[in-house]
Amino acid sequence: MRQLTTEDLKTLEVDLKNYFPQSLQVYGCIVQLNRTGQRADPVSVFVDLWPDFRVLLIKPEIRETGDFFKDLTVFSKNDVYLRDLLAQTDVIDWKMYICLAAELHHEKMLEFVAINRGVSMKKEAVCLKLVLRDPSKCSQIDSLSLKLSSLNESHLALVNSSWKFGCEHSKVMIKNMIVNFPSCCVLDADDRPVAWILTYPSCALGMLFTVPEHRGKGYAKALVTIMSKRLHSQGYPVYCFIEEKNQLSYRLFTSLGFTEEPDYKAAWFVFNDF
């Protein structure tokens, strides 16, 4: 496999647009890398061939335990190419805990790889991909009536405690998101966040949350709208992942103009115990 250089990543960003929507998640990672550099989220980007790659793998740098919460992300033009790469390459340390982000249709092939590697595997989550192509369709929000800010490190414990997968080890990932990527929150009279939304290293919007006593005020709708327009104006892709059974979030995002990619489902597969 070849590890791509900074110049290669600029070429890759353009090329990946030819494979939307399947490549959108890795495209978002490359966009972030090209905008923020390795200081934000150190990763290595590998391809099987260059420039006519068939498989792309984005591997996070593991420095401490919490870094295991950062996804290993793959994109493949063909299931067979990805199977062969995972079966043969030593780029991945199969003795370690791995959370792999990939298309759902790779599941059977990944089970085959896990068996041959002698490691356990489970499907952690399956999500629909919703994309906003035209932010002008978002409703106009009276943001002047809201006290808005970005999240900062002092809000880390609050965000972590509200996230479905939040635990002691996830704090490293969330801190990285707060410090390096766009976020927005609504503050109360005492400058405490009562609703917020973050951006993942893949550019996907996520961790949208409103504290229970402040729900029903339109904060979530306002935050999605504000962040979507901000990201779009800065040249970022605007999309999110919604778990299949989360109808509340699905209705919220689709009401704001996000559309589902019907032939695409994202999944997160976990190998080995944490």
pLDDT in tens, the chain (274 residues): 899 999 999 999 999 999 998 999 999 999 999 988 766 678 899 999 999 999 999 998 877 776 777 889 999 998 888 988 888 777 888 998 999 999 999 999 999 999 999 999 999 999 999 999 888 767 666 665 889 999 999 999 999 999 988 888 889 999 999 999 999 999 999 999 999 999 999 999 999 999 999 999 999 999 999 999 999 999 999 999 999 889 999 999 999 999 998 888 999 999 998 7
The distance from CA 99 to its chain's CA centroid, rounded to whole angstroms, is 12
Q: Comparing C-alpha atoms, which of 62, 269, 28, 43 is closest to residue 172?
A: 62
What is the reported pLDDT for 142?
A: 61
Within 10 Å of residue 246's Cβ, how many Cβ atoms? 14
What is the reported pLDDT for 136?
A: 77
What is the reported pLDDT for 141?
A: 66
Which H or E element spans position 174?
helix 171-180
Instruction: Please tell me the distance from the alpha carbon of residue 123 to that of residue 73, in angstroms, as a whole number.
Output: 15
Instruction: Please tell me the distance from the alpha carbon of residue 24 to that of residue 260, in angstroms, as a whole number.
Output: 13
State the number of CA atoms in the 13 A half-sphere of 10 facing the CB.
4
Contact (Cβ atoms closer than 8 angstroms) between residue 181 and residue 40 = yes
The residue whose two tokens read 């030593």 is: 90
Rg (CA), the chain: 19
What is the reported pLDDT for 248?
A: 94
Contact (Cβ atoms closer than 8 angstroms) between residue 23 and residue 53 = no
pTM of the model: 0.92
